[in-house]
Amino acid sequence: MKIALVGVTGLVGNVMLKVLEEYNLGDFDLLAAASDKSVGKEIIFNNKKHRLYSVQEVLNSMPDIAIFSAGSSVSLHYAPLFAEKNCYVIDNSSAWRMYAHIPLIVPEINANRLTISDKIIANPNCSTIQMVMALAPLHITFKIKRIVVSTYQSVTGTGMKAVNQLLRERKGIDGEKIYPHPIDMNILPHGGDFEANGYTTEETKLVNETRKILNDNNIQITATVVRVPVLGGHSEAVNIEFEQDYSLEAIYKILRNTPGIIVEDDPTANKYPMPYFAQGKNEVFVGRIRRDFSRENSLNMWIVSDNLRKGAATNAIQIAQYIIAQGWKK
C-alpha cells in the first residue's frame, strides 16, 4: 500500500507525519509531496530518510490513499486527478467541504456515511471538528435547536508565519506581519476573511459544516471567531439550546462514554480544559459544563483541542484508518 502526504512541510503536514508514526495503519510506503522549492530535500519518517517529490511525481506513483494539506487551489486541481486513479483523497482544505456529493467526515460521528466509491473525502475545519465531537452525541439524545459559539483560536491555525509573528513580537523583534494588528498581548475578533454580511469565512464554516456533519439544516447557529496569542490549540465557549430538557448527570454520562472525549470538570480543584495541556494530544477536552438558567433547555460548556491534531492531522489519519479497516485498500 502507498500513502501520500501532500503538503508535508507545513505545520499540519509535520504533525501528520507524527500521527502516522503513532497510528498502526499496517505496512505502507510513504510518498511525501511538497512545493517545488522543497522537491529533492529529505524528511525523516519512522527513522528513515524520505525524499520529497512534486505532487505530479506522487500522482504518477499511483498512491492508494492521499492526504492533502496544501491549500484549496492544490486540492481543487489535483484531488480529481488522484481520484481518477482510484486513489482515496482525504482533503484538509476547505475546497471540497460544502459540495453536496462530497462526504464531510469526523470518524467518531459519521464514518458510516462513507462508501467504497467516495474517492474525495473532506476533513472539516479544526474548530468545527472539536465542537461537533462534543455536540453530536448530545444531539442524538436531546436534539439541538440552537448553538451560540465563540472561539479562541490558536495562531497555529493560521500557519508557521503567524507563529513566527507571535514569537517575534514577544521578543520585541520586527518582522513579517501575517495579521493586520499585533497578536502578542492582544486578541483579534477576526478569523478568515470578512464577508458582505459582516461575518467571517471561519464563522460561516462553523455554521455550514456543523449542519452538514450533524445532518440537520434546522439547527440555528451563530458564531464569533477570535484569534488569541496561544500555541497549544483552540478553545470554544459553546451555548446549546436543546428541544428537550436534560439533566446534568445525563450530559456527563454521555460525554464520558463518547470515544475521543475527555471530561475535565472539577471547579473545586480548578480543573477545566486548557490549550496549554491539550497540545500534542488527540482527544477533545470538555469542561465548565453548567446549565444556562437564562433560557429553557440550555447548556454551557467549554471545549478545547489541539487544532493541529484532532482538528486536522489526527482526524485525517483516522479517516485513512477507517478506509483501510473496510478492506477498500490493501
Given the residues 50, 87, 139, 234, the one annotated as active site: 234
Helices (H), 65-125: 72-84, 107-110
Q: Is residue 251 a contact partner of residue 135, using CB atoms and an 8 Å limit? A: no
What separation in angstroms does the CA of 309 have from each of 24, 92, 226, 240, 283?
Answer: 16, 12, 20, 25, 8
Note if 234 is an active site residue: yes
Report the alpha-carbon distance of residue 101 to residue 82 in Å, rounded.
Answer: 17
Helix axes 314-325 and 11-22, enclosed angle (nearest 10): 40
Is residue 77 annotated as part of the catalytic site, yes or no?
no
Question: What are residue 224's DSSP bridge partners?
Answer: 150
The DSSP bridge partners found for residue 13 are none
| DSSP line for 47-78 | TEEEEEE-HHHHHHT--SEEEE-S-HHHHHHH
Q: How far apart are CA 80 and CA 71, in angstroms?
A: 15
Q: Which residue among 50, 87, 126, 139 is the active-site one? A: 126
Q: Is 272 helix (H, G, I), strand (E, B) or coil?
A: coil
Q: Which residue has the cell 474525495?
A: 120
Q: Is 316 helix (H, G, I), strand (E, B) or coil?
A: helix
Instruction: Write phi, then psi, for 186 (nearest 5 degrees).
Output: -155, 165
How many residues appear in the chain?
A: 330
Active site residues: 126, 234
